[in-house]
Amino acid sequence: MISIKYSIIDAWVITKRQLMQLIRVPEVLVFSTIQPVMFVLLFRYVFGGLGAGIKGGYVQLLMPGIFVQTVAFTLAATAQGLAQDMEKGLIDRFRSLPIARSAVVIGRTLGDGLLNVVVLFVMGITGFIVGWRPSSSILHIGFGFLTLLLFGYSLSWIGIFMGLIARDARAVANITFLTIFPLTFLSNAFASTTTMPRALQYFAEWNPVSTMVAAARDLFGFHNTFGATAGSFPSQHPLPMSYIYMGLIMLVFIPLSVRRYTKKSR
């Protein structure tokens, strides 16, 4: 039997492989940071005027939104990375090794999660430079970032599943983009949901992205009133609701993905 100890070591070796890739091909790290930074700057200065009347300006509202959008895209990165490994036959090799069945998928989600640490750090600095000022305690801010990382991590597991079932890496890129992009915009991340059509408002309100954004705004000390159809559970309790969503996602997708990976006897 493969012991717990080796399951952890195996997963860590896979994670380390991704970190090594970042060292060998620094462009990946540069591009995964440049894009969110560019978004921060664009949104900050293009839509900055929307924030008239908001204390501290639009950037206080924007930063949590853009943090969430960025970590949400981890789903796409995970799915694509895995699909590429499968295409190259690397997954077959891993499967022929005497390692824990969970190692490859856990290793990948952790690797993508660690990349998010760097990306969020750089974005936070950028945000601070352009006027973002979290007003809560250092503990709240830390908890805010931790929650963001966990949110990205849980979505990573959907990415694993999509990567495992998809036909090829290019298809994965398209599908994940078409999923995440609308999901992050049909939310309270960049604009108030009050101006959306009624049906979209409901969707936006229950959208995990919205609850996560609202939770992050709260934790960073910017109280967010969260849209129009006030009174719904997610709008009242964004933080617990975010954790419920994360729990549900992982509860469903971790077993599903590990089973899919193990049984991939095609």
Partner 1 sequence: MAVKSIIAENLVKHYRHGEVKALDGLSLEVEEGTVLSLLGPNGAGKTTTVRILSTLLQPDSGHATVAGIDALKEPAKVRSIIGLSGQYAAVDETLTGWDNLVMFGRLYHLSNAQAQARATELLAQFSLSDDARRPIKTFSGGMRRRLDLAASLIIKPRVLFLDEPTTGLDPRGRQEMWGVIENLVSEGVTLLLTTQYLEEADQLADCIAVVDHGRVIAEGTSDELKNRIGGERIEVIVAESDITRAAEVMKRISGTEVTIDKGVRRLAAAAPKGSQSLLELVRELDVEKIHPLDLALKRPSLDDVFLSLTGRPAEEDLPETDALATTGPKGRKAAKGGKK
- Angle at the Cα of 118 (from 43 to 80), degrees rounded to 5? 80
Q: How far is the CB of 126 from partner 1 (least distance, A)?
A: 27
**Which of 35, 42, 45, 93 forms a contact with partner 1 (CB under 8 A)?**
93
Smaller CB distance to partner 1: residue 106 or 150? 106
Nearest distance from C-beta of residue 183 to partner 1, angstroms: 26
Measuring CA to CA, which residue among 109, 153, 157 is closest to residue 12? Answer: 109
Phi, psi of 24 (to 5 degrees): -70, -35
Binding map of partner 1 across residues 192-231, x = CB under 8 A, - = no contact: ----------------------------------------
Interface residue with partner 1, options 53, 138, 231, 265 (CB under 8 A): 265
The binding track of 16-55 with respect to partner 1, each residue x by CB under 8 A or -, is: xx--xx--xx------------------------------
Cβ atoms of 120 and 25 within 8 Å: the answer is: no
Decide if residue 6 touches partner 1 (CB under 8 A): yes
Per-residue binding letters, 128-167, with partner 1 (x by CB under 8 A): ---------------------------------------x
The separation between the first and the last C-alpha atoms of the chain, rounded to the nearest angstrom, is 25
The answer to whether 245 touches 147, Cβ cutoff 8 Å, is no
| Burial bucket for residue 230 (CB in 10 Å: 0-12, 13-18, 19+) | exposed
